[in-house]
């Protein structure tokens, strides 16, 4: 009996980490995509034009090289685009790539919990719709009430001749100075793509853009306090700050992240 138990333990399969699961699945999917591309006699350069994905990322997917690729959610998106271009059902093909860990069913009550998880988003959507309808209705009533009150005030007030306030020139100059200070506080960046690359732009903590921009694209973003630009291929991105001369973000083929803060107003 002891030998039998020991033998069962030796036959148990080791548990793979999520990173190992991603690496093995990427190699399997990359091999399928490579075989499909070879069957269609297409080069990586031709696939780069079709998918708008850089050659380095396409090659990393085919070779199953997880270290040369961005976050798992972007890898799944690249796989979907690549599979669509080769005639697969990209969404079905890409969803088998593990992005997050899956819940483990340990008891018989798990099916009930799974159904509850499926129902919860529907309840949330209904709640969101209800809140939006109530908000729009309340806002409409407030606006209508404000317009009615403003019309009555205009009708009841006699016409008056405005007189220039004293020191109006000084006030205008002060207002102009405040406006100039506000403009100086903003920060602006412009990017020009020498090669199709993935880019993420965050302005004042809010993601303004995230995706792949094709070669030759020129985009401009502004922020009040801080701009953050991240790319997977720094050598293909020319970036200018506050309309200054554009410079290359970094070395070709390497990821880079740049943070630019607005200049503080002078006292």
pLDDT (tens digit per residue) in 179-196: 454 445 788 989 887 888
The residue with greater pLDDT, 172 or 220, is 220
Number of domains in the chain: 2
d(CA 23, CA 66): 6
> What SS3 state is found at 65?
coil
Residue 32 clears pLDDT 60, i.e. is over it? yes
Asked if residue 49 belongs to a domain, the reply is yes
For residues 201 and 1, what is the distance between their CA atoms, to the nearest angstrom?
63
Using DSSP's 3-state secondary structure scheme, residue 259 falls into strand
Residue 167, token pair as written in the block: 């020191």
pLDDT of residue 196: 87
Continuous segment of H or E residues that includes residue 159: none
The residue from 52, 72, 94 where one domain ends is 94
Cα torsion through 233, 236, 241, 245, rounded to 10: 150
**pTM above threshold 0.75:** no
Lowest mean pLDDT: which of 91-95, 116-120, 207-211? 116-120
Please, is 188 exposed, middle or buried when counting C-beta atoms within 10 Å of its C-beta (0-12, 13-18, 19+)?
middle
**Which position has the higher pLDDT, 127 or 218?**
218
Burial of 153 (0-12, 13-18, 19+ CB in 10 A): exposed
Residue with tokens 């990209």: 90
Whether 151 maps to a domain, the answer reads: no
Domain, as residue range, for 226: 185-261
Q: Which residue has the tokens 């199953």?
A: 64
Report the DSSP pairing between strands 187-193 and 197-203: unpaired
SS3 state of residue 233 = coil
Average pLDDT over residues 202-222: 90
Q: How far apart are CA 30 and CA 82, in angstroms?
A: 10
CB 255 within 8 A of CB 236: no
45 falls within a domain: yes
Contact indicator for 187, 265 with CB cutoff of 8 Å:
no
Q: For residue 14, what are the CA distances in angstroms to 11, 76, 128, 206?
A: 9, 26, 44, 42
Whether 100 is in a domain gets the answer no
**pLDDT of residue 87 exceeding 80:** yes
Structure tokens at 109: 């009550």
With respect to residue 109, please indicate whether it lies within any of the assigned structural domains: no
Which of 64, 94, 124 is the C-terminal boundary of a domain? 94
- Whether 137 maps to a domain, the answer reads no
Does residue 24 lie in a domain region?
yes
- Residue 46 clears pLDDT 90, i.e. is over it: yes
Specify the higher pLDDT residue, 162 or 95: 95
**Which of 42, 63, 94 is the last residue before a domain boundary?**
94
In a domain, residue 155? The reply is no
Tokens standing for 150?
């403003």
């Amino acid at each position: 009996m002891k030998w039998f138990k020991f033998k069962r333990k030796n036959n148990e399969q080791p548990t793979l980490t999520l990173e190992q699961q991603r690496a093995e699945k990427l190699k399997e999917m990359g091999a399928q995509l490579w075989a499909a591309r070879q069957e269609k006699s297409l080069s990586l350069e031709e696939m780069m034009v079709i998918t708008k994905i850089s050659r380095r990322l396409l090659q990393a997917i085919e070779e199953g090289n997880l270290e040369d690729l961005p976050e798992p959610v972007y890898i799944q998106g690249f796989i979907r685009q690549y599979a669509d271009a080769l005639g697969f059902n990209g969404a079905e093909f890409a969803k088998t790539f593990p992005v997050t860990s899956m819940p483990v069913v340990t008891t018989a009550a798990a099916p009930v919990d799974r159904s509850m998880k499926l129902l919860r988003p529907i309840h949330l959507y209904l709640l969101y719709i209800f809140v939006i309808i109530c908000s729009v209705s309340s806002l409409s009533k407030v606006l209508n009430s404000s317009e009615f009150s403003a019309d009555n005030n205009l009708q009841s007030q006699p016409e008056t001749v405005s007189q220039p306030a004293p020191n109006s020139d000084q006030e205008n100059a002060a207002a102009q100075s405040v406006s100039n200070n506000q403009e100086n506080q903003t920060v602006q960046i412009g990017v020009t793509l020498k090669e199709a690359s993935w880019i993420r732009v965050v302005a004042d903590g809010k993601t303004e853009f995230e995706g792949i921009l094709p070669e030759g694209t020129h985009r401009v973003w502004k922020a009040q306090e801080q701009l953050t630009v991240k790319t997977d291929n720094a050598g293909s991105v020319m970036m200018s700050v506050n309309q200054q001369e554009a410079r290359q973000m970094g070395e070709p083929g390497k990821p880079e992240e740049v943070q630019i803060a607005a200049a503080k107003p002078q006292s």
